[in-house]
Copies of this chain bind each other. A is one copy, B any other.
Amino acid sequence: MKTFERDELDNLEHRYRTRLINSLSGFKSANLIGSQDVDGQLNLAIVSSVVHLGANPPLIGLVMRPNSVPRHTFANITETGLFTINQVSAEFWQAAHQTSARYAQEQSEFDVVGLTPEFLNDFDAPFVAESQLKYGVKLIEVKPIEVNNTEFVIGEIMQIHVGESAVRADGYVDIESIETVAISGLDSYHVTNRLSRLSYAKPDKPVSSLTLDGQQAAPFENQFAVVQN
């Protein structure tokens, strides 16, 4: 194992440290944030920091750096109070990455990277037509993170659009089937292979595999975790 102590981290070359620290959180979600300003100028920005906050009410959070690339997105969100989140798939991952370039405010990233804006069900922010899982979000609150001048944006999910076949019997969405990608570090994109769904863990019995529809399957034969009673 290689060890980095805190003082060594501080002495690393700037970009090396950025790549290293960005690799630590594990696989990250790849999402495009769609927004528009009050004049209807569209904006699209890739983010890797969307995180589940709660199901009831349905809430989502994301970290934004107002002074870095998604600054137009942040301005639009706080101006209009609305945005969309669109999962990135293997069909358009390179186009999604290209939205992180520093385009001028008057340029729509939809146009320059070749993705299609669409407006759905009277929601006043642009969705990505190519995305198979997307939802409209209403801004609830921006929490400043003073320690490094970032912002934690909290939003409420107002409508969901998802490829019909991906929604399974128990509500689970098979995002692997729609080729949603994951990100590692700053710039690596991955598709996935499912190991399994697992049963709800209880103290007194070992976990089992679940089918895609959430039905109990047989317990694992060579389970690493053997619960000791």
A residues at B contact (CB < 8 Å): 1-6, 9, 12-31, 48-61, 63, 85, 87-88, 90-95, 97-103, 111-114, 120-121, 132-133, 135, 140-141, 143, 145, 147-148, 150, 152, 154, 157-164, 167, 170-176, 180-182, 184-203, 206-207, 210, 214, 220, 223-228
A153 to B65, CA, bound (A): 18
Collect the chain B residues with CB atoms within 8 Å of residue A191's CB.
192-193, 195
Instruction: Report yes or no: A21 in contact with B157, Cβ–Cβ below 8 A.
Output: yes
Jot down 24 A-B pairs with beta carbons below 8 A, ordered by A.
A1-B163, A2-B164, A2-B167, A13-B171, A16-B171, A17-B58, A20-B55, A23-B171, A24-B60, A24-B160, A24-B173, A48-B52, A54-B150, A57-B147, A61-B145, A92-B225, A172-B185, A172-B186, A172-B188, A176-B184, A180-B184, A184-B192, A187-B210, A188-B197
Instruction: Report yes or no: B3 in contact with A159, Cβ–Cβ below 8 A.
Output: yes
Q: A51-B63, A181-B195, A188-B196 are in contact. List 14 more A-B contacts (CB 8 A).
A: A18-B55, A19-B170, A24-B173, A27-B28, A27-B175, A52-B63, A90-B195, A92-B225, A97-B207, A172-B186, A180-B184, A182-B182, A182-B190, A187-B197
Q: What is the oligomeric copy number? A: 2
A17 to B28, CA, bound (A): 23
Chain A interface mostly: mixed
In the complex with contacts A101-B203, A228-B111, A171-B20 CB distance below 8 A = yes
Instruction: Report yes or no: A182 in contact with B143, Cβ–Cβ below 8 A.
Output: no
